[in-house]
Chain A
């Protein structure tokens, strides 16, 4: 444990950028946890007397078209955005990894079927596929999460398949089998735990991407219902105000979105350093 800690300290010491990412993550988690209690205003309450006010002491990030406090909306949106990203990524991680692990482990027709499925998804223009899924299944957050999860599936399936293949050949499994364990048990106890760490890196990188994807869908009007604050929607709403000079409406949620994605991406790098110093990229 202490050696792990020392290792972590070394990695962070080596790489100040990772430290920055950890800091950002903590800020983000705090915002997600405390968002609604530290928000200075009710994020949904309109106050049309004070609409479109630039950032000021009373409204640090300014107000939007309906006089709602942008700081409060950005803060409160954190939880939902994190939830969308985490939901989508964990879904594709669980399903993708399971499918990929089965493909890699059992080979033969299982592998062929699963590989064909992932090939099919990969061949789609992914963003349009996500759009079509949300449009077809219904315009709500649940389907945005589902669509994002589906377009991420192939990455996990492929990765898990490759990792499991490597581990299988490395002999863990043979050994487990010889000692009388069933194939599935060997998969669960020996292969998956070993393949997990490199996949976690992917998870972190993917969180950011999932967020951007959801924001893109919001931009074209798919996803969260108004008046629920969500970063992508906030940017999309603000976009039409940029040219008339009300830059703050799009800028602050855009920055929040960017910082979050930024944080996840850097965190992925940091994780990779922790797991495998040689594969640092």
Chain B
């Protein structure tokens, strides 16, 4: 032991202790994360989630959401209030068919070029044209064609509406419609690549609050404050270092030892213990419009039988999963499909609970008195919670005669498997950015059969209710329609919601100003370090 100490001392000679130095700098934020951005361009193909965080802090959008403080003192974005970012003001047309934005006159890109309306148009044209995720997201707000976007003059920009859609305005404040320095980008565009997708993947043409100082994919990303940022109050943090630390254990250790300031994505157990230990602050928000569920493929036996599906819903050991796999981080929903903080939430809506006798009886009614065999699949990338959940589920299902083989599927294949829609029984999760029940149901239960409708559930009655709710203007009718499709989904039960996950974040107690965002990424602009 003494030799080891000597060795360590030897190696320390000359090096000042790393974390002491890090702590001494109150305007530097050290974030540790499982994986980092793979692109700086949110419009690119295959852009991953951490890239949204990079994009969110580097680029500006026309508008952003306001902030509200919850009863427990935590802060979150306010969907009801749109606030200016690059646009200093906007005006709805009297006929309601367009909106006109006035851009800030003092807004500059990082290279000093003023931001103009043609940059906005180029950026929006790009988002609706390149295909894939950005186009899809724009479409969710009825933003579909370049013709909708019009440059009025250098600082005036108009968006024409295709139809009356209450998602159009908020959709302009989500991460996708970023404003890109079009002149700079066009210099790097080619005939094959008119939107400079290649170049913008690794380069930045932005006007946002942070500049990219250095980016080593797979290692770290360093941001530095844009001192000339005018689209909001100047951020307090001068420099942000985002380090990729793949091991959750290491991330936790670093937080607890003060070597890191903030970390998302830790196993629920770590959050629960850190919250108890009290060394670091743990802030939690139930993720809006999200749940983890047990899905069943309704196109094939045995789960084409609603009774068999109900049997599963009665056999799930909800409480045990909640306390054991989740360590109580999240909200137990026992089948309820509308999240606690989403319109239409009704604590008593779901009839389901753990009731093995009832489950057995349903199995018999379904024509499977002696059970059946099937496979239970989950995404290996989320094994921390999925695996104990699967094991508990397997054990419980065995008691009603359903013998399952657990199938861990590597992340690269999981999406493929979801797309193929062949897995009979699986654990999965969904979360929507826009916090509306019909938005959720449209993607998950509508017979357009989007990839999120993993159960291949198709029911005209359901479609009718969802479609009606999407464009409903009468609040009363709307509430009724929501109740309607919820009831239908609960009766048919192609999927059983088990819990609503939390967005947990652990940070040093000196970190102030954290707020929850629907995109679940960290907004450096709001943070401060005492």
Contact = CB atoms under 8 A, between A and B. Distances in A.
Contacts of B384: 240
A21 B53 CA distance: 55
A228 to B, nearest CB: 9
Contacts of A226: 387, 390-391, 406, 408
Contacts of A259: none
Contacts of B269: 65, 240-241, 244
A227 B394 contact: yes
Interface string A31-75: 000000000000011101001000000000000011100000000
Interface in B374-399: 380, 383-384, 387-388, 390-392, 394-395
A240 B248 contact: yes
A239 interface: yes
A240 B267 CA distance: 9
Contact of A227 (B320, B380, B406): B406
Contact of B405 (A65, A66, A225): A225
Contacts of A123: none
B253 interface: yes
Given A221-B383, A240-B267, A46 B395 contact: yes
B391 A227 contact: yes
Contacts of B252: 243-244
B153 interface: no
Nearest to B252: A243
B380 to A, nearest CB: 5
B408 A225 contact: yes
Contact of B253 (A135, A139, A222, A243): A243
A65 to B, nearest CB: 6
A242 interface: yes
B270 interface: yes
B323 interface: yes
Q: How large is the interface on B (under 10, 10 to 19, 20 to 34, 35 or more residues)?
A: 20 to 34
A243 B249 contact: yes
Interface string B332-373: 000000000000000000000000000000000000000000
B383 A44 contact: no
Contact of B324 (A66, A227, A239): A66
A172 B338 CA distance: 81
A48 B408 contact: no
A48 B322 CA distance: 11
B422 interface: no
Interface residues of A, number: 22
A41 to B, nearest CB: 14
A225 B390 CA distance: 11
Interface string A122-152: 0000000000000100010000000000000
Contact of B410 (A44, A46, A139, A244): A139
Interface in A221-275: 221-222, 225-227, 237, 239-244
Contacts of A239: 249
A3 to B, nearest CB: 47
A48 B410 contact: no
B383 to A, nearest CB: 6
B154 interface: no
For A45, A67, A222, A226, the residue with the greatest tally of chain B CB atoms inside 10 Å of its CB is A226
B273 interface: yes
Contacts of B391: 46, 66, 226-227
B324 A225 contact: no
Interface in B401-424: 405-410
A67 B320 CA distance: 11
Contacts of A48: 320, 323-324, 392
A26 B253 CA distance: 40
Nearest to B411: A221
A67 B408 CA distance: 21
A45 B392 CA distance: 9
B379 to A, nearest CB: 11
Given A221-B408, A227-B406, A244-B269, A65 B395 contact: no
A242 B249 contact: yes
A132 to B, nearest CB: 12
A17 B344 CA distance: 71
Contact of B388 (A44, A45, A65, A242): A65
A44 B407 CA distance: 17
A44 B384 CA distance: 18
A66 B395 CA distance: 11
Interface in B310-339: 320, 323-325
Contacts of A46: 320, 324, 391-392, 395
Contacts of A243: 249, 252-253, 270
A227 to B, nearest CB: 5
Nearest to B269: A244
Contacts of A227: 391, 394-395, 406
B404 to A, nearest CB: 10
A27 to B, nearest CB: 29
B273 A244 contact: yes
Interface string B239-264: 00000000011001100000000000
A234 to B, nearest CB: 12
A67 B390 CA distance: 15
Given A225-B408, A244-B273, 15 more contacts: A46-B320, A46-B391, A46-B392, A48-B392, A65-B325, A225-B405, A225-B407, A237-B387, A240-B248, A240-B249, A240-B384, A242-B249, A243-B249, A244-B252, A244-B270
12 contacts: A45-B395, A46-B391, A66-B324, A225-B405, A225-B407, A226-B387, A226-B391, A226-B408, A227-B391, A239-B249, A241-B269, A243-B270
Q: Which 9 A-B pairs have the closest CB atoms?
A: A243-B249, A227-B391, A48-B324, A221-B380, A48-B320, A226-B406, A225-B406, A244-B273, A243-B253
